[in-house]
Amino acid sequence: MPETKKNERKIWYKLDLSAIVYPTLQRKDFSSVYRLSVLLKETIHPDILQQAVDIALQRFPTYKVAIRKGLFWRYLETNNRPGPFVQPDIKNPCMPMPFKANNRYLIRIYYHECRIALEAHHSLGDGTGGMCVLQTITAVYLRLLGHTISNGGFVLDVDGEPDPEELEDAYMRYANAQVRPPRPGEKTYRVKGTKEPFYTLNIIDGIMSVKEVQTVAAKYSATLTEYLNAVLLYALLQKQQEEWHLKLYPVRIAMPVNLRRFFPSRTLRNFITMVYPSIDPRLGDYTFEEIVIHVRNYMRYYINDKFLRGDITTNAATQRNLLIRIVPLFIKDFTVRQFYTRVQDRNSSAGLTNMGALKVPDDMKPHIKRFDIYMGQPFSSRTNCAVVSFEDTLTINFASSIIEADVERYFFRKLVQDGIHVQIESNR
């Protein structure tokens, strides 16, 4: 057994194309951490949950890792230290995740009453990979309680071996377009707000009926995602108009797209890219109906395999450049951090991600009330919005590090005006 552990320590994984950026942005007061949670119908037993984590995590070798630093790049290395250990939940989630803390694990498992929450550093993977980990842990937990839970979908077989495709950097497989589209570079509107004290994350959740939102979206000839993007743009435009300003700026949303929808891959690592629906108020006043039409046309023009393949190719260009690859890591870190702070982070006014309708095995459904997802602490003063649904329950989770909640208020007010019944929860 000691010999096996010794060999396991030598297993390492290159960071995927997206993951390269996240450790670079690491600060004492910021980590790229997202949070997924499931609300069950019975109170959590911490000791049973710990057993489930210990069993399930063996199935996810790219999550049972520590991050290491080399001369030219960072990499993930198998972590055989004890843990991660389940712990009572905290008021302010998505705390910074120092790489040497928590026995070097880059995930945290929390529980509170009926809730199990998983927090993961984005260098491990995106929300799809994280949801596989969370649902598999939950399935094992329910089995340990005596319930029969099938495998399928996000619930993986803990007795099976990982598919090699689950571990791949899928970006590099599909980065083969013959053109590299440019990035949006114009400065956008940024929300002005009073920064909260260190380690404070303000959460506002809206819980509603999927059918109600779909019915309203259909009246605007839009999908649910198009409608919610339009509502957020509408809220941001209202916020900019009410503030004192010398001139107006475009309002733009950073929206992750799950590339697995367009390019076959079973990877549990990052496989997303960003699109940026926007409205430019300098062109004139927009009615909400006009915003919906604009968003709908944007989504249907840009979200397809042709444009997305070009975007992947643009992202992969620097990774394939031999000169850049041999530049020492500290120079890469400085360059990437400057680019992100001065250009990339200024490209959007807010973030919105929609994980869509989550499926679980049929015999697992009776045990679950709902899911929640949080994009985590924003890099700068703005709000992030995450959407997920289960059965007929849609949850919209806002997370921000500023005191003012004007954008969230305008957002939910518009939903109510459109006839949607919204239940609000908050950690404030």
The CATH number of the domain where 65 resides is what? 3.30.559.10
> Do 34 and 142 reside in the same domain of the chain?
yes
pTM to 2 decimals?
0.93
Burial of residue 280 (CB within 10 Å: 0-12, 13-18, 19+) is middle
Residue 266 and residue 342 share a domain: yes
Q: Do 126 and 80 share a domain, yes or no? A: yes
Confidence of residue 5 (pLDDT cuts 50, 70, 90): very low
**80 lies in some domain:** yes
Structural domain contains residue 130: yes
- Tell me which residue of 396, 402, 399 sits closest to 416, measured CA to CA: 396
CA nearest neighbour of 22 among 76, 80, 77: 76
Distance of alpha carbon 118 from the chain centroid: 12
Q: Quick check: is 368 in a domain?
A: no
Q: What tens digit of pLDDT does each residue of 56-83 get?
A: 999 999 999 999 998 888 999 999 999 9
CB atoms within 10 A of CB 371: 21
Taking only the tens place, the pLDDT of each residue in 185-218 is 778 998 888 888 877 889 999 999 999 999 999 9
327 and 262 housed in the same domain = yes
What is the phi/psi pair of residue 184, to 5°? -65, 135
